[in-house]
Amino acid sequence: MKKILILINAFVLLLATTSCEDWLDVNTDPNNASEATVDLVLPAAQASITTVVSGDLFNLGGFLAQYWDQNPTANQYNTISTYDFTTVIGDEYWRELYSGALNDLQYVIDQTEENEDWGNYLVAKSLRAYTFQLLVDLFDNVPYTEALEGTDFVNPTFDNGSDVYEAILDELDEALAKDLSKASVVTTDMFFGGNLNQWVAFAKTVKLKILLRMAYTDNPHTSELTSLLAEGGFLAQSAGLTAYSAGAQNKRNPWYETNVSRLSGDGKYSINHVGCYNFITYLQTNGDPRLNSLFYPSENSGTHEGNYFGSSKIASERRFDLQEDFSTVRMFGDHPSYIILASESFLLQAEAYARTGDFTNAKIMYDAAVAASFETHGLSDNPASYTGAGGVYEFTATTEQDAIEQIGMQKWICLAHYNNIEAWIEQSRTGYPEISTVLANDPSYTPGEWTSPVDNLLGANRFPHRLYYPSTEVTSNSNTPTQITDMAVKVWWDLND
């Protein structure tokens, strides 16, 4: 696989599956670069990961998490909103995460291990764990033990997703156990500006996320989860790339660059996306002020209006015919690319406390998550008026299942327009939001439930749970497993039926 170095001052610009135009590509092989140093290659990997998560996967996740739907006056993403997937759906994500991010991280790991540079080693190891977890969550079995070995393994074998999870837990433990007392992180670090303490917190938060993803399996690592929770030290600030420009071309948020800047005449909103009825009505029902931060109101009505999910190809089934009748996605060129949000970290901790029977601390973390989300959206509203006694988001759970439901619904809101693909993955894991037994236009529909697309080409009441193995891997790697029958097939940890 090609190894990619993304020069720090140019921002990574990837081949965009959601655009007719390529991003400016300034990638260089670190093995052949004249000065491939850690301070250049590490931010290259960071940019590679964030551009995938906040670019193509962000777009896919926005539909899969039912945050938005296809604008009925356009048709670019009708295949996604109706679950009409082909086996090329994951090609770009796979190629960039392996050839870009993971190869760059392996280079950093090799260099830092040789030099006992344990601060940057920890950064690379924790980002590697994050990336491999994402790949498993998207594809299930993936190359791991024989991956990133160049010509030694031209056709790397695919490891079971469960084995990869166990291995990356070990990697995190090994990196965290290094002597960090005199360690440092390069100042070109685009997430935390070289703050080692934040990277320790990031590594612990990634470990917590991995452990919770295993909660419904036959090996949930309960004692390890309890120990990690007692140790504490998780992220209290969001992790990701924030140094985007509001207006400079090729230095803006990847999703905005592709779907707004290059496609929309006035640069205000995407011509392909409108709000989803399921999400918008849930926020409206709860009087949630984040609604106005996430969506522009309908130009025609001045109120927020969402489309019935997956109905845009069927005029008789959609709510309105014009984009101007719907709410549109509110996004700007300098919108940050977070791969873990502070609110997400707090909700992970809330779930961990709930699973160990500590509902007092679960509530504290849950309330902190809502407050962090309000802060992320720049709201002046007091979050305590929503989470306090009698508030619409008051944490009232006294059982584990009730807690998982409240946390899951809040996570759906907090992740919106920041890490859309994570919201889809988490719904598969927890079952929240719940799946409606009726379509959204039915009088008995409950706001906030997910619905089958009106035009569901995956089959009635069937939902995607993973991606196809990339078609490029199937044709080039003889060790690729037999292709799955469709995307309703579940990954290894998806056992909460």
Render 199-243 in DSSP notation, one character per residue.
HHHHHHHHHHHHHHHTTTSS---HHHHHHHHHH----SS-EEE--
Task: Write down how long the chain is.
Answer: 497
Other Cβ atoms less than 10 A from the Cβ of 261: the count is 18
Select from 253, 232, 259, 226 the least CA-distant residue to 241.
253
Burial class from Cβ neighbours inside 10 Å (0-12, 13-18, 19+) for residue 315 reads exposed
244 neighbors 331 (Cβ within 8 angstroms): no
Q: Which residue has the tokens 């056709």?
A: 155
484 neighbors 465 (Cβ within 8 angstroms): no
Structure tokens at 217: 């399996």
> What is residue 265's predicted lDDT score, i.e. its pLDDT?
62
- Give the integer Cα–Cα distance in Å for 118 and 302: 54
Task: Give a yes or no: residue 357 inside a domain.
Answer: no
**Domain residues for 92?**
1-76+83-254+464-497
- Give the integer Cα–Cα distance in Å for 240 and 47: 9
Cα first-last separation, the chain: 38
Which residues have CB under 8 Å from 220's CB, separation 6+?
A: 211, 214
Q: What are phi and psi of 188, to 5 degrees?
A: -80, -5
Displacement of CA 51 from its chain's centroid (Å):
11
User: Domains in the chain: how many in total?
Assistant: 1
Angle between helices 196-213 and 342-355 (to 10 degrees): 50
Task: Please say whether the dihedral angle defined by the alpha carbons of residues 136, 142, 145 and 147, taken in this order, is positive or negative.
Answer: negative
Task: Give a yes or no: residue 448 inside a domain.
Answer: no
The helix/strand/coil state of 450 is: strand
333 neighbors 246 (Cβ within 8 angstroms): yes
- Give the integer Cα–Cα distance in Å for 432 and 347: 14
Instruction: Give ∠ CA 232-234-167 in degrees, rounded to 5.
Output: 95
Task: Give a yes or no: residue 34 inside a domain.
Answer: yes
Task: Please say whether the dihedral angle defined by the alpha carbons of residues 79, 82, 87 and 88, taken in this order, is positive or negative.
Answer: positive
* Residue 252 identity (one-letter amino acid): R
Burial class from Cβ neighbours inside 10 Å (0-12, 13-18, 19+) for residue 296 reads middle
> What is residue 32's predicted lDDT score, i.e. its pLDDT?
53
Task: Give a yes or no: residue 277 inside a domain.
Answer: no
Task: Give a yes or no: residue 413 inside a domain.
Answer: no
β partners of residue 48: none
45 neighbors 189 (Cβ within 8 angstroms): no
Give the CATH number, domain containing residue 497: 1.25.40.390
Select from 311, 304, 310 the least CA-distant residue to 286.
304
- Give the integer Cα–Cα distance in Å for 13 and 56: 12
Instruction: Give ∠ CA 8-10-11 in degrees, rounded to 5.
Output: 75
- Give the integer Cα–Cα distance in Å for 55 and 258: 8
59 neighbors 263 (Cβ within 8 angstroms): no
* Residue 253 identity (one-letter amino acid): N
Task: Please say whether the dihedral angle defined by the alpha carbons of residues 158, 161, 163 and 169, taken in this order, is positive or negative.
Answer: positive
Write out the chain's pLDDT in tens, 497 residues. 333 333 333 343 332 233 323 332 334 445 555 468 999 999 999 999 999 999 999 999 999 999 999 999 999 999 999 999 999 999 999 999 999 999 999 999 999 999 999 999 999 999 999 999 999 999 999 999 999 988 788 899 999 999 999 999 999 999 999 999 999 999 999 999 999 999 999 999 999 999 999 999 999 999 999 999 999 999 999 999 999 999 888 899 999 999 998 777 667 899 999 999 999 999 999 999 999 999 999 999 999 999 999 999 999 999 999 999 999 999 999 999 999 999 999 999 999 999 999 999 999 999 999 999 999 999 999 999 999 999 999 999 999 999 999 999 999 999 999 999 999 999 999 999 999 999 999 999 999 999 999 999 999 899 999 999 999 999 999 999 999 999 999 999 999 97
> What is residue 266's predicted lDDT score, i.e. its pLDDT?
65
The helix/strand/coil state of 146 is: coil
Task: Give a yes or no: residue 424 inside a domain.
Answer: no
> What is residue 163's predicted lDDT score, i.e. its pLDDT?
98
Instruction: Write down the pTM of the prediction.
Output: 0.93
Mean predicted lDDT score pLDDT of the chain: 92
Which residues have CB under 8 Å from 31's CB, separation 6+?
A: 3, 107
Structure tokens at 188: 């070109």
49 neighbors 127 (Cβ within 8 angstroms): yes
Which residues have CB under 8 Å from 304's CB, separation 6+?
A: 275, 280, 283, 284, 291, 295, 297, 298, 327
In a 13 Å sphere around the CA of 274, the CA atoms on its Cβ side amount to 30
Q: What are phi and psi of 8, to 5 degrees?
A: -60, -40
472 neighbors 489 (Cβ within 8 angstroms): no
Task: Give a yes or no: residue 368 inside a domain.
Answer: no
